[in-house]
C-alpha cells in the first residue's frame, strides 16, 4: 500500500475513549515489521483547544477538521449520544471526503455521525444492539442489521459495540495488507484474527451450565476441524449427547445462528483464508471447506462477500 495511506481518527468533546483507543492501537502504532508500508495516522479535532474524554481526562489534537481533506480512511470512534446533533461542518467534511473516495469507518455509536451526514442512505449498517432499534427508527432509509459485528459497504463501514471496532479494523487491515499482516496485528493485540457469530452472542441472557458450555465448545472445535465433512443435526446431537431439540435451542442461544447457518459461515471464512494464504484451486478449496463443488462455493461466496472467489484471491492476496 505504501506510506501514502492516511488514516485520520476524529476527536470531539466527550470522546469515547475506548473506541478512540481502538483506532490508535490498530492504525496508529508503529509497525517496524511492515517497514515503510504501514499507515500514516493523524487525529482531527472537531472543536479547537482541549477536548474532554470519557474517564475524566483531557486531550489536545494536533489538527482540526482540515485534516480530513487529506485522509484516505476516516474513523469515527463513537459519538456523544444518539440524541446529540451532529454539527453541519462535520457532516460537510465527511461528505466531501466521501465524494473524493475516502473510506469511512464508524465504531459503535459513531454510526449516528455517518447517518446524520446521509452517507448510509440506502445502505446496510450496524451498531451496538442497544442502539439498533433507535437507529432504524431515526433513519428508516438505512437497513439496520443488529446481529452482526460489522458491515462492509465498500467505502462506508460500520461496526457494532465498542470491541467490535477491533474486528472491523482488523478486517480493514486484512483488506489493505492481507491475511498475514492482519494476523500479526491480532497477535499483538492478543485477539482472535476473526471472531465468529454476531452480537446475539453478547446480548445479556442466562448463563448456561458449565457442563453444557463445555460440550458445545468441544462441538465447535470438532466442527472447525472437520468442515469438509457432512453434518446433520442428528449427528451433532448424538456426538454431544443431547436431543436434537435441545441442541438446536442451545446452539442458537450460544451463537445466534442455527447449526446450518453457523457451518456455512465457518466454511466461508475458512474458504476466504485458504484463498488468501494458499494456491489451492477453487475446486480444492470447495472440497476442503465442505461445499459440494466449486459452483456451490462460488454461489455462497458471492452472496456473502459480493465478489467471486477468483476475484477475491486476486484483490486480497498480498503482493510478494
Question: How confident is the model over 117-137, as pLDDT tens digits?
Answer: 999 999 999 999 899 999 999
| Residue 165 belongs to some domain of the structure | yes
Q: Judge if 27 and 95 occupy the same domain.
A: yes
Only one residue has cell 455517518, namely: 114
Q: What grid cell was written down for 151?
A: 458491515
- For residue 208, is pLDDT > 60? no
Count of domains for the chain = 2
Parent domain of 228: 209-320
Average pLDDT over residues 149-176: 91
Name the catalytic one among 67, 108, 169, 289: 108
SS3 call for 228: coil
Q: Judge if 27 and 138 occupy the same domain.
A: yes
Q: What is the CATH classification number for the domain harbouring 307?
A: 1.10.10.60
The reply to whether 16 belongs to the active site is: no
Pair 65, 93: CB distance under 8 Å: yes
Mean pLDDT over the full length of the chain:
88
The whole-angstrom separation of Cα 97 and Cα 91 is 10
| Residue 39 belongs to some domain of the structure | yes
Name the band, by pLDDT with cuts 50, 70 and 90, for residue 213: low
Q: Using CB atoms within 10 A of its CB, is residue 121 exposed (0-12), middle (13-18) or buried (19+)? A: exposed
Q: Judge if 110 and 145 occupy the same domain.
A: yes
Give the residue from 128, 161, 189 where a domain finishes.
Answer: 189
SS3 call for 201: helix
Q: What grid cell was written down for 46?
A: 472537531
pLDDT at residue 209 in the model = 45
| Residue 70 belongs to some domain of the structure | yes
Q: Judge if 250 and 124 occupy the same domain.
A: no
Q: Judge if 120 and 184 occupy the same domain.
A: yes
Largest Cα–Cα separation, the chain: 64
| Residue 204 belongs to some domain of the structure | no
Q: Judge if 137 and 264 occupy the same domain.
A: no
State the pTM of this model.
0.66
pLDDT at residue 143 in the model = 93
Pair 274, 289: CB distance under 8 Å: yes
Q: Which residue has the higher pLDDT, 110 or 254?
A: 110
Identify the bridge partners of residue 77 per DSSP, sorted by sequence position.
107
SS3 call for 8: strand
Amino acid at each position: 500500500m505504501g506510506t501514502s495511506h492516511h488514516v485520520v481518527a476524529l476527536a470531539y468533546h466527550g470522546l469515547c475513549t475506548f473506541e478512540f483507543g481502538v483506532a490508535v492501537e490498530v492504525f496508529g502504532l508503529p509497525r517496524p515489521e511492515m517497514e515503510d508500508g504501514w499507515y500514516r495516522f493523524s487525529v482531527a479535532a472537531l472543536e479547537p483547544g482541549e477536548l474532554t474524554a470519557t474517564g475524566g481526562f483531557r486531550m489536545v489534537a494536533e489538527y482540526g477538521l482540515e485534516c480530513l481533506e487529506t485522509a484516505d480512511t476516516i474513523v469515527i470512534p463513537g459519538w456523544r449520544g444518539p440524541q446529540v446533533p451532529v454539527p453541519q461542518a462535520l457532516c460537510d467534511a465527511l461528505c466531501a471526503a466521501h465524494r473524493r473516495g475516502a473510506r469511512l469507518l464508524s465504531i459503535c455509536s459513531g454510526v449516528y455521525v455517518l447517518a446524520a451526514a446521509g452517507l448510509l442512505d440506502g445502505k446496510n449498517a450496524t451498531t451496538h444492539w442497544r442502539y439498533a432499534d433507535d437507529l432504524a427508527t431515526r433513519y428508516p432509509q438505512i437497513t439496520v442489521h443488529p446481529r452482526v459485528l460489522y458491515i462492509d459497504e465498500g467505502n462506508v463501514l460500520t461496526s457494532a459495540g465498542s470491541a467490535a471496532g477491533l474486528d472491523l479494523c482488523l478486517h480493514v487491515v486484512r483488506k489493505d495488507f492481507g491475511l498475514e499482516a492482519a494476523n500479526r496485528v491480532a497477535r499483538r493485540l492478543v485477539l482472535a484474527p476473526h471472531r465468529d457469530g454476531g452480537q446475539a452472542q453478547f446480548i445479556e441472557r442466562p448463563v448456561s451450565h458449565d457442563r453444557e458450555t463445555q460440550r458445545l465448545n468441544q462441538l465447535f472445535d470438532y466442527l472447525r476441524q472437520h468442515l469438509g465433512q457432512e453434518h446433520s443435526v442428528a449427528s451433532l446431537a448424538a456426538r454431544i449427547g443431547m436431543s436434537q431439540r435441545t441442541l438446536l435451542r442451545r446452539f442458537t442461544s450460544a451463537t445466534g445462528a442455527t447449526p446450518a447457518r453457523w457451518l456455512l459461515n465457518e466454511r466461508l471464512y475458512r474458504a476466504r483464508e485458504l484463498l488468501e494464504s494458499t494456491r489451492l484451486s477453487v475446486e480444492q478449496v470447495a472440497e476442503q471447506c465442505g461445499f459440494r463443488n466449486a459452483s456451490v462455493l462460488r454461489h455462497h461466496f458471492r452472496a456473502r462477500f459480493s465478489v467471486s472467489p477468483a476475484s477475491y484471491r486476486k484483490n486480497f492476496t498480498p503482493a510478494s
